[in-house]
Amino acid sequence: MNLQAQSYPGIFITFEGIDGAGKSTHINHFARKLQEKYPNKKIILTREPGGTDLGEKLRTELLNQPMHPETEVLLMFAARREHLAQVIEPALMSGDIVISDRFTDSSFAYQCGGRGISVTQLNTLENWVQGRTINGQAYEIQPNKTFLFDLSVEIAQKRREQTRTPDKFEQLDTNFFNLVRNEYLRRAEVFQNRIKIIDASLSIDDIQKIMDLEVGLL
């Protein structure tokens, strides 16, 4: 990957997928492997919604408090704006590597795909929150690489049931999660250069091997 591809020297990597697909299982190992490859680079592991004091407070509300779908998407982007300002942008400007457990693809998948918010509205929010002008040149802060952990809704639900008490999103039905998954897959088709689909039905060991190969490509 060309580290200078954006208007800043850092690398931005995101992990995505429906709840229970296996992002959290692989993100720490991936970060360790990347650190081994780039020993002199600072690696920041973060998450959305969250990643800042305010973002974590918004996360608690977003994951527990019922609210109007537009309130939900606005709070997701409010948390994201703070996350960009406090964590992501300073790191990318300093040449660090940022790995985030979820970013804007989650908003398209859950709020557009799942909740039915229009893509036009989401595009407006994305452009507002991620749009920047540096030296007169306009661009959007976007992940350089996104790993989409893709898994059937039924298997993901079984995995979740074995390990955790469901939050507000995890209580939603199969229909909701199929819409979310389909929107993720639609975006993977549109952004083929950025989004790499990981077959999350493979064993943890096999996925780890795939992720190790991906580290080699970065």
Question: Parallel, antiparallel, or unpaired: how do β-strands 137-140 and 43-47 relate?
Answer: unpaired
- Contact with ligand TYD (CB under 6 A) among 48, 82, 96, 183: 48
User: Taking CB within 5 to 8 Å according to partner kind, which of ligand TYD, ligand ADP, none is near residue 93?
Assistant: none
> Which positions from 91 through 150 interact with ligand ADP, judged by CB under 6 A?
149
CB nearer to ligand TYD: give 107 or 157.
Answer: 107
Strands ordered across the beta sheet of 145-150: 43-47, 97-101, 11-17, 145-150, 195-199
Q: Which two tokens stand for residue 91?
A: 């790191």
Q: Which stretch binds ligand ADP (CB under 6 A): 103-111, 118-126, 155-163, 210-218?
A: 155-163
84 contributes a contact to ligand TYD by CB under 6 A = no
- Buried-exposed string 10-37: b where 16+ CB fall within 10 A, e elsewhere: bbbbbbbbbbbbbbeebbeebbebbeee
Which entry of ligand TYD, ligand ADP, none binds 203, CB below 5 to 8 A by partner kind?
ligand ADP
Stretch that binds ligand ADP, among 17-25, 68-76, 85-93, 179-187 (CB under 6 A): 17-25
Among positions 138-197, residues that touch ligand TYD (CB under 6 A) are: 167, 169
Minimum Å gap between C-beta 200 and ligand TYD is 13
By rule CB under 6 A, what string of x and - marks binding of each residue 21-60 to ligand ADP? xxxxx-----------------------------------
Alpha-helical segments (H) within the chain: 23-37, 53-64, 69-83, 89-93, 104-106, 119-130, 153-163, 174-190, 204-217
Among ligand ADP, ligand TYD, none, what does residue 107 contact (CB within 5–8 Å per kind)? Answer: ligand TYD
